[in-house]
Amino acid sequence: MGPGILVYLHSMDLPRPGLRSRFRSILGTCLLLLVLASLARVWPCWNCEGAGRIWLQQSYGQALQPCIRCDGRGRISLGLKLSHGPQKVGIAAPANPDREAAEILRKIEGQIGAARTIRLSFKRSVLGKDGAASELEGTLILKEGDRFLLRFTERSGSDPRPESVLAASDGKRMVEVRGPGGKESGSSEQATPEGLNRWISSALIHAGPYLYPRFLPQGGNPKEAHPVDWLTPAESDLPGARLLTFITLDSMNSGRGRLWYDPKTLTPLKCERVDRSGTRTVTDLYADVTLNADIPDETFTLPALK
């Protein structure tokens, strides 16, 4: 505040006692609010235009990343806005460019999540950028009450011995038996994680079948593990199917994904993920997907421990 303004305020002929100090208090409050506004993240980020995400060029093409100016929040402080100027880094991307695709994904998630039972078979291929590959095939059965049965056999190019896994839960206890070949053999038993089937059914859509349920977290929201940050329809190369492409930015499953689905039944048919570095591609092909079939509880009898 300049000395001329102070002299002017001091010489003001205010009609009532105390009004001068009140005026000074109001002026000081306004200055304080201005300072706080310059520090708080209340201004739309000019770099991502408030979306919180930008497209950046990577070695494998463009990738959707959190905005480096606002840390993905979409808001910045006035001080940051003034100090960095108008120069942009990357191309701003809207949070969700296709509402119809988002609605379709919501319906698929709702149908799978609400199913009393789910039964399917799957084939998975894993391909690394260095040419390393592995294949596995198996079956998965889920029933309400966190009962499930998972069987699969894996063959790796670096290890010709097949690795077989049988995992089952009766809703209270979960047993996993591994062997006879592969990297490890043996068995383990533990309490069934809370909300086990919610995690497994969510993964069918976003990341493929969970092969080792014993590592799933207790409780929580599975959508937080598979957040969709970019979603749009695309042309399908699978006959009779439609395709959604998406990108996730979470630390565990960051990368690009594609989901093929049946437009009539809204059941998943194929799921593909490419990690953030573009060095690993995992593809799951589903067959005989059946929802809400009558499955006896005896199906989920726990196998004997080795």
Query: Which pLDDT tens digits describe the chain residue by residue (306 residues)?
Result: 445 544 444 555 545 556 677 777 787 787 776 666 555 556 677 667 677 766 554 443 445 567 767 777 777 765 554 455 555 554 445 444 577 888 898 899 999 989 999 999 999 998 887 777 888 899 999 999 999 999 998 877 666 667 788 999 999 999 998 876 545 567 888 998 888 888 888 888 888 888 877 776 665 566 666 667 667 788 888 888 899 887 765 545 567 889 999 999 999 999 998 876 677 889 999 999 999 999 999 999 998 876
DSSP letter string, 189-214 = EEEPPTTHHHHHHHHHHHT---S-GG
Q: What are the φ/ψ torsions at residue 103 (nearest 5 degrees)?
A: -70, -40
Q: At residue 105, what are phi and psi to the nearest 5 degrees?
A: -60, -40
3-state secondary structure of 244: strand
Instruction: Please give the structure tokens belonging to residue 3.
Output: 């000395």
Residue 291: the pLDDT is 95
Measured in degrees and rounded to the nearest 5, phi and psi for residue 289 equal -75, 120
CATH number at 99-300: 2.50.20.10
In 3D, which of 158, 132, 62 has the Cα closest to residue 282? 132
CB 286 within 8 A of CB 296: no
Contact 182, 162 (CB under 8 A): yes
Is residue 68 classed as helix, strand or coil in its secondary structure?
Answer: coil
Predicted confidence at residue 229, as pLDDT, reads 65
Task: Determine the pLDDT at residue 137.
Answer: 92
* pLDDT for the residue 107: 92
Place of tokens 């009962």: 147
Give pLDDT, residue 39: 53
pLDDT for 294 equals 95
| Residue-level pLDDT at 25 | 79
- pLDDT, residue 62, reads 47
Burial category of 108 from C-beta neighbours within 10 Å (exposed 0-12, middle 13-18, buried 19 and up): buried
Phi, psi angles (nearest 5°) of residue 181: -105, -160
* Crossing angle between the packed helical segments 99-114 and 196-206, to the nearest 10 degrees: 140
Quote the distance between the C-alpha of residue 116 and its chain's center: 24
Q: Quick one: pLDDT at residue 283?
A: 93
User: Omega into 180 within 30° of 0, i.e. cis?
Assistant: yes
CA–CA gap between residue 25 and residue 19 (Å, rounded): 10
User: According to the model, what pLDDT value does residue 218 have?
Assistant: 62
Would you kindly state where each structural domain of the chain is located, as residue ranges?
Answer: 16-92, 99-300
> What whole-number distance in Å separates Cα of residue 49 and Cα of residue 75?
9
